[in-house]
C-alpha cells in the first residue's frame, strides 16, 4: 500500500500546472463572482428585510395581549440577531473571497 501511495504521489509531477489551470477556469472564477455578488446583496437586503419585519412585529405587538406581547418581543430580538448574523456572515465571506483574488 505504501508503494502504491508513493507511486501515485510521484506520478503527478504537473500538479502546479494543474492548479494554475483550475484557478483560471470559468467554474472557479464564476463561483468566486457568484459568492461575491450574493454576499454583497445579502449585506444590502438583510437589514432591509429585518427592518420591515421589525416594523411588522411592532405593529402586531401593539395590538397583542400581555401573553402575546412577550412572543412578539422575542421575535423582534430574533430578527435583530438574525440580521446581525447575516451581515457579519456575508462580510466575512467577502473578506475571505477577497484574499483569493
For cell 438583510, name the residue. Answer: 46
State which residues form the domain around 42.
Answer: 25-99
CA 12 – CA 15 distance, rounded (Å):
6
CA 41 – CA 43 distance, rounded (Å):
5
- 85 lies in some domain: yes
Between 39 and 101, where is the model more confident?
A: 39
pLDDT band at 9 (very low <50, low <70, confident <90, very high): low
- 65 lies in some domain: yes
- Please count the structural domains in the chain: 1
DSSP 40-72: HHHHHHHHHHHHHHHHHHHHHHHTS-HHHHHHH
pLDDT, tens digit, 9 for 90 and up, residues 25-68: 778 788 888 888 888 899 999 999 999 999 999 999 999 998 89
Mean pLDDT of 14-28: 63
- 40 lies in some domain: yes
Angle between helices 26-62 and 66-99 (to 10 degrees): 160
- 79 lies in some domain: yes
- 18 lies in some domain: no
- 8 lies in some domain: no
- 60 lies in some domain: yes
Count of H helices and E strands in the chain? 4, 0
Cβ pair 93, 39 in contact under 8 A: yes
pLDDT band at 96 (very low <50, low <70, confident <90, very high): confident
- 75: pLDDT strictly greater than 60: yes
- 17 lies in some domain: no
Amino acid at each position: 500500500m505504501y508503494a502504491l501511495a508513493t507511486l501515485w504521489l510521484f506520478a503527478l509531477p504537473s500538479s502546479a500546472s494543474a492548479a494554475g489551470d483550475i484557478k483560471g477556469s470559468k467554474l472557479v472564477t464564476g463561483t468566486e463572482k457568484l459568492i461575491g455578488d450574493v454576499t454583497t446583496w445579502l449585506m444590502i437586503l438583510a437589514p432591509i428585510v429585518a427592518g420591515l419585519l421589525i416594523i411588522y412585529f411592532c405593529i402586531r405587538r401593539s395590538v397583542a395581549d400581555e401573553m402575546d406581547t412577550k412572543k412578539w418581543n422575542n421575535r423582534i430580538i430574533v430578527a435583530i440577531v438574525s440580521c446581525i448574523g447575516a451581515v457579519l456572515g456575508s462580510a466575512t465571506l467577502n473578506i475571505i473571497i477577497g484574499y483569493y483574488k
